[in-house]
Amino acid sequence: MNYPIYLDYAATTPVDERVMKEMMPFFTQHFGNAESRYHAFGWQAEEAVDEAKKKIADSLGCATKEIVFTSGATESINLALKGVFENNNGHLVTVKTEHKATLDTAEYLNGKGNLVTYLDVDGQGNIDLDALEKSIRPDTKLISVMHVNNETGVVLPISKIIELGHGKGVLVHVDATQSLGKLAFPVDADFVSFSGHKIYGPKGVGGLIVKKELVISTQIHGGKQQRNRRSGTLNVPGIVGIAEAVSILDIEENSRLEKLRNNFEKKVLSELPNTKINGLETSRVGNISNITFEGKDAEELLMKLTKIAISNGSACNSATTEASYVLRAIGLSEQDAFSSLRFSLGRFTNKEDMENAANHLIEIVC
C-alpha cells in the first residue's frame, strides 16, 4: 500500500523509534506491576516509573511529586477541572475555542451548579485580556485555557494569563497538548495537561502537572495510587514511553517546521485565488496551517487529495457534520468553515514533502 504524505500531526504522531526502544522491555521482560512491593518484578517497574518522573521533571522544570499519569489529555483536563469544582462549587472562566475535552467538562460542571464564563475571541482567535480580567468574580476558582489551538495553531499569551489569574488569587489550568515541545513550558501554571501521542509517544498515556500544595477531588477511585490523585494500575510501558518522548523534545524543531509551513502557505496563496490563512495575522505555532478555500467543499477536497493525509479540523469532532465551532468563533461563515482544511507538520516532515503536498493541493483545487 502506498501511504500518502502525512500532514495530520496535530491529530496524532508516530511513535519515535527512540521511544519505542525504551518501551519494549516493559511489555515482555520487565512486565511487573509497580505496586507489587514483594518481588523484583514489581521493584523494577516501580523504579522505572520513578525514573520516568525524574526525566519529565528535569525536562519540564516541575517536581516529581507534581506529576500525575493519566490515559491522555482528555482525562487530565477532566481531572483538573472536576478536581477543583466537583466538591466545591464556584466560577470557571474558559474560552469558546477550547478543545471539547474542556468545553464538555465545563458544561458538565455547569449542570452541577457551577457558573461558567466562555470568553469570546477576535477574528484571529485571540482573547481580550481586559475582558478576561473583568470576567473574574469573587467566587472564580479557575481559568482554563489552551496554549495552542489545535485547529488554527493560534498561540494565546499564557504567561500574561497566568500572571493575571494569580494576581487575582485564581488558579490557572493550561492545556499544553499542542504546545509541548514547541513552545516554552508554562511551568508557573497550577495545572498543565498533555498527551503522549501528540509528542511522538504512545497513545493511551498522558500527564497532568498539579502544584504539590493543591488538593483536588479524586476522579478515579481504587487503589489510591499516585498520592490518591488518580487510582489504577500504572501503565508502565506508556509511562516509560511518554517520559522518553518528553526528554527528547526540541523546541528548535518548531522553527524548522515554521519555515516549511510558511513556504507551503506562500505557494498555495500565490497559486490559488480565494484562499485565506486563518490566524495569519497573529502568533501561531510553527506546524499548523488552517486554510479556507472559498467556494470549495472541504470534505469533497479530502476525498480527492489522495496523496496527502490531512483533516478538516479536530480528530475528536470528525464524527459530527457541524461546521467547526473554532472557525465559527473567529468569525468565519458556516460556508467558509465547511471550506477549510488543516495541515499539520511534524518531526518527520521534510521540504520535499511540503513541495509535493503544495503541488498536489494546487492541482486538485484548480
**Res 315: pLDDT:** 56
Task: Give the whole-angstrom CA distance, residue 249 versus residue 141.
Answer: 32
Helices (H) and strands (E) in the chain, counts: 13, 12
Q: DSSP character for 16?
A: P
- Give the residue extent of every domain in the chain: 5-13+251-365, 17-247
Show the CA angle centred on residue 233, arms to residues 228 and 235, nearest 5°: 115
**Res 319: pLDDT:** 52
The average pLDDT across 131-153 equals 98
The overall average pLDDT reported for the chain is 96
**Catalytic sites, residue numbers:** 316
Q: Which CATH number fits domain 5-13+251-365: 3.90.79.10, 3.30.2080.10, 3.90.1150.10, 2.160.10.10?
A: 3.90.1150.10
Q: Report the Cα 361 to chain-centroid distance in Å.
A: 27
Task: Give the whole-angstrom CA distance, residue 71 versus residue 73.
Answer: 7
Per residue in 240-270, pLDDT tens? 999 999 999 999 999 999 999 999 999 999 9
Class of 17-247 in CATH: alpha beta
**What b-and-e string marks burial along 264-297, b requiring 16 or more CB atoms within 10 Å of the CB?**
bbebbeeebeebebbbeeeebbbbbbbbbbeebe
For residues 318 and 311, the answer to whether their CB atoms sit within 8 Å is yes
Q: Which residues have a Cβ under 8 Å from the Cβ of 92 and sit 6 or more positions away?
A: 81, 85, 106, 109, 114, 115, 116, 117, 140, 141, 142, 143, 144
Task: Give the whole-angstrom CA distance, residue 105 versus residue 98.
Answer: 11
The average pLDDT across 40-45 equals 94
Find the DSSP H helices in 112-207. 129-135, 158-167
Task: Give the whole-angstrom CA distance, residue 141 versus residue 180.
Answer: 25
pTM of the model: 0.95
Tell me the CB-side half-sphere exposure of residue 262, using CA atoms within 13 A.
11
**Res 301: pLDDT:** 97
Task: Give the whole-angstrom CA distance, residue 203 versus residue 75.
Answer: 13
In what helix (H) or strand (E) does residue 174 lie, and over which residues does it extend? strand 171-175
Per residue in 194-234, pLDDT tens? 999 999 999 999 999 999 889 999 999 999 999 889 999 99
> Residue 184: exposed, middle, or buried by beta-carbon count in 10 A (0-12, 13-18, 19+)?
exposed
Residue that the C-alpha cell 464524527 belongs to? 319
Per residue in 356-365, pLDDT tens? 999 999 999 9
Write the DSSP assignment of 99-137 as a string of letters. Answer: -HHHHHHHHHHHHTT-EEEEE---TTS---HHHHHHH--
**Res 3: pLDDT:** 86
Per residue in 305-328, pLDDT tens? 999 999 987 655 555 578 999 999
**Res 320: pLDDT:** 55
Per residue in 170-200, pLDDT tens? 999 999 999 999 999 999 999 999 999 999 9
Name the band, by pLDDT with cuts 50, 70 and 90, for residue 97.
very high
Per residue in 57-90, pLDDT tens? 999 999 999 999 999 999 999 999 999 998 899 9
